[in-house]
Structure 1
Amino acid sequence: MGAATSPTGSPSRRPLWVALGAIGVVLVVALLVVLVVWRGGAGTPSSDDSLPGVRPTPSTSAAPLSVASAAPTTSTPAGPKPTSCDEIYSPAMMTTFSETRTLNPAWTVGSDDVLQVGTTDEELAGLIEGDEHLTCIWAAEGGGSDSGLTTNVVFVTAAQSEAVHARLNAIGQSCYEELGGIRCVIETAKDSDGSSGESHFLRDGIWLATHFVNAGPDGYTHDIVATIWAGA
């Protein structure tokens, strides 16, 4: 596998969705400083996604595979396939998040001033961009701010899913079994500028990749999983 992309720095209060290159560098070092969960209690994974806490490390880690080696060789596994961002959130989550942010505001669509992928790791970002995916961005309606969140719903093959899991382990994310899939999380320590991090979930040919800065209501990832796999 390729060398891990090393996060550098800590999140700042300047507009989140401007000068993304600088933000990515800032996050990468900060992510190595403190590993805490995206939203969850200490010790054993909980159902409420609350902060902060330390997730258990997996008893075994996937072999370090190169993401590039996981080019699709078979069709994407059959499973849920949402076609719009409105389909991945429950009505309650849409209401909660819409109180302070807008889903895919016009200024973010295709903009180089907004984080379009849910990770700062270059290898993982390349896989997201090369595969079929939905991009769901929660940001301020009027433009850049010091908080926001990007989630990609990426449709992957089994080989790609394994490679993503291995890469997340290799770059220091805490991975564990949860909700019928694999969850990987990392977050900076909260300081005067807030906190930032990532949450990833792999199940049934779907990869949920989320990058956040000072954003993310309780149960965000759990809500997406419960909505996409409703009745499963």
Structure 2
Amino acid sequence: MFWLLLIAAVLVVVIAVVLGFALGAPRGGDAATMAAPTSAPRATTDAATAPATETASPADQTGVVIPATCDGIYTRDWSGDLAPRVLNPAWVSDPARGFKRYGSNDVGLVTMLEATTRLECNWVPEGGATHLFLVTGVAQLTPEQQGSILDHLATTDMDCYDESGGTRCVIEREESETWGESHFVRDGIWIATRWGVSGPSGYTADIVAAIFG
């Protein structure tokens, strides 16, 4: 009987010791929590406060800025010279009217104007589109685009020459209707104008004076 009680007592002690170790050991989740740092390391002051690098636009590089509105590209009022055409009547911006003309009829030039034009100035009759019009687009070009445009203009039937520190190319034709184009390229700015019936003398020169001073 004694031996049975002794064996039972030993078993109780052994079981107690085993349970003690089992309960006292840290759990997996607790160990992971203890090992993890209390906070992520902070960036150094220099890295946190370093200024971002700015990429200059073509306008920044040349100092030439395209005006925000068409009024800014003229030094005087052209409404009398261009009458009965008016500047950007409301119907021009109506999607239902489908009006979209660029400062050229050349496919290659139109493609480039679609991508680079920043300001569109349309002189058209207030009642709607007719063969009487004058449209001017002012585009902003990268040096690569400017070189490409000048190369393309040189392959057309236009007369190109140096003018006002840039390159001017013009054409005028009298077919079923009289029409013409004028292109001026300088310092990343491209002034493209196409007109039907008549184009007033000095128009492009005035835009050049307004933009370049």
- TM-score relative to the length of structure 1: 0.61
Select which of 131, 138, 141 maps to 1:153.
138
Unaligned runs of 5+ in 1: 1-73
Deviation at 1:146, TM superposition (A): 2.3
CA contact (8 A) 2:172 2:179 kept: yes
1:53 aligns with: none
Deviation at 1:95, TM superposition (A): 4.6
Alignment RMSD (CA, Å): 2.2
Mark the structure with the bigger radius of gyration: 2
CA separation of 1:170 and 1:136: change in aligned 2, threshold 3 A: same
Deviations 1:205-232 (A, max 9, x none): 10001111113212111111111122xx
Q: Which residue identity does 2:156 align to in structure 1?
A: I
CA separation of 1:227 and 1:107: change in aligned 2, threshold 3 A: same
Q: Which residue identity does 1:220 align to in structure 2?
A: Y
Q: C-alpha separation between the residues in 2 aligned to 1:100 and 1:122?
A: 29
Determine which structure has the larger helix proportion and give its number: 2
| Count of paired positions | 155
Counterparts of 1:174-213 in structure 2, within 5 Å, are 174-189=159-174, 193-213=176-196
Q: Which residue identity does 1:101 align to in structure 2?
A: R
1:216 aligns with: 199
Q: Which has the higher contact order (CA 8 A, sep 6+)?
A: 1
Deviations 1:88-133 (A, max 9, x none): 0122334533x42110111112656434211111221111111241
Deviations 1:175-227 (A, max 9, x none): 100011100011103x6x54101100001110001111113212111111111
Deviations 1:62-109 (A, max 9, x none): xxxxxxxxxxxx842431321111100122334533x42110111112
Select which of 72, 88, 92 maps to 2:73.
88
Deviation at 1:145, TM superposition (A): 2.1
Once superposed, which parts of structure 1, at least 4 consecutive aligned residues long, lie more than 6 Å away?
none
- TM-score relative to the length of structure 2: 0.66
Q: Which residue identity does 2:91 align to in structure 1?
A: W
The share of aligned pairs that are identical, in percent, is 39
